[in-house]
Amino acid sequence: MNHYFLIINVGSTSIKSRLFTADLQTAAALAADYGAEGGMSIKGLGLQNESLTKTDPNCHDTCSALTAVLSLWRQLITEANVTLSAIGHRVVHGASWFDKVTPITPDVLQKLEQLDGYAPLHNPFNRLGITMAGDYFPTSRQFAVFDTAFHRHIPDYAGRYAIPEQLSTHVEFYRYGFHGISCQHSLLAAANLLGQKPEQLNLIVLHLGGGASATAIAKGISVDTSMGFSPTEGLMMASRCGDVDPMITLTLQREGKTSEQLDHLLNHQSGLRGICGDSDMRRVLQRAEQQDDAAQLALAMFCYRIKKYIGAYCAILGEISALVFTGGIGEYAVTVRETILTGLEPLGFTLNPQENLHCVGQNGIVSASSSRFPILVIQAEEERVCAQQILTYLDE
């Protein structure tokens, strides 16, 4: 009987899941998108390479989407009579407690619950995925793979905040960084595209999706990243504010806003949604093309902030091996890539418009021949990295 590994990646607006064989070949895949106005759509391929689709216009929440995805997985796995050896979960925040693949136990779940406040748009849903997967597949071992682990080597001068140490008895304020699993895959994929070793590469990785981040990688090691203590810091995102003057939140608190209201404001009502009312970049781009002022402003702000981080990380890294676009927006939104790169020729980045137009949802090089540094588009494959790490753990 064949052994398989199911990887579940619960994002802020989507669920990506893949079933891998023991030699890390994709046996089946399901992707659920529940962030659009039309409700949930599931697309994928089954174990017989059959096309799978499902829609539910009334599904807009993570629990309902997980129910649909896990029910379909149980049906597929049962019908194929395969052995599910392990289930892996991408977990966004591991703080300083978790820096490697970790088997799920009641104690681990209890510690993860304490991190909900660090990543309120992700960790509660990552835990929900673990709990629900345990209900659907009670005999399969479960593992957590942490986004923060890749950034554990950020130096203190980049990781510390300019505030007194040990302000809290409950949490440690530090730049933990996120999208680390995606960054690790981008590093490996970039090395393959460029024909170099990962430890030779200096990369700027832009993971642009519902959440967005920029990461500076020097000689294969993360040395700085835009997300910090929580995924709310850094770039402007779908509904998260990114960098904001802390006095704004203090002023709102003095005006009567509660901590819960501020949390909801910064994580759910800001970013693209706060500027134009839409959090889905696809909708923002449609409105911007129709000359909608609010959408055009949201798009301009989104791209402008990314430009600033590119410039900052060029200063940190010096020589750049490549600039990488990944994540749903990075892979598919050619207009966003073009807008970000316009004017960056003095920094060494020149786009090939035709290559950019045709490189959608696939790995490729979109820089012009005159570009000093390569510009890459890389499909995010966080699930494969999770499967590889779990397989390595089991083989030790």
Which candidate, 320, 385, 344, 17, places its Cα nearest to that of 189?
Answer: 385
Contact 177, 296 (CB under 8 A): no
Q: Rounded CA gap, 52 and 28, in Å?
A: 10
**What's the pTM?**
0.90
Q: What is the CATH number of domain 3-152?
A: 3.30.420.40
99 an active-site residue? no
| Long-range interactions of 357-366: CB distance < 8 A, separation 24+ | 359/334, 360/331, 360/332, 360/334, 361/331, 361/332, 362/331, 363/189, 363/193, 365/193, 366/325, 366/337
What are the structural domain ranges in the chain?
A: 3-152, 196-377
**DSSP notation for 105-126:** -HHHHHHHHTTTTTSTTTHHHH
In this chain, the answer to whether the domains covering 3-152 and 196-377 adopt an identical fold is yes
Per-residue pLDDT of the chain (396 residues; tens, 9 = 90+): 467 999 999 876 789 999 999 899 999 999 998 876 778 889 999 998 899 988 888 777 888 889 989 999 999 999 998 889 999 999 999 988 898 999 999 999 999 998 887 777 789 999 999 999 999 999 999 999 999 999 999 999 999 999 998 898 878 899 999 999 999 999 999 999 999 999 999 999 999 998 999 999 999 999 999 999 999 999 999 999 999 999 999 999 999 999 999 999 999 999 999 999 999 999 999 999 999 999 999 999 999 999 999 999 999 999 999 999 999 999 999 999 999 999 999 999 999 999 999 999 999 999 999 999 999 999 998 899 999 999 999 886
Out of 147, 224, 278, 280, the active site residue is 147
| Second-level CATH architecture of 196-377 | 2-Layer Sandwich (3.30)
- Using only C-alpha atoms, the chain has a radius of gyration, in whole angstroms, of 21
Which residue carries 């990552």 as its tokens? 126
CB of 11 closer than 8 Å to CB of 210: yes
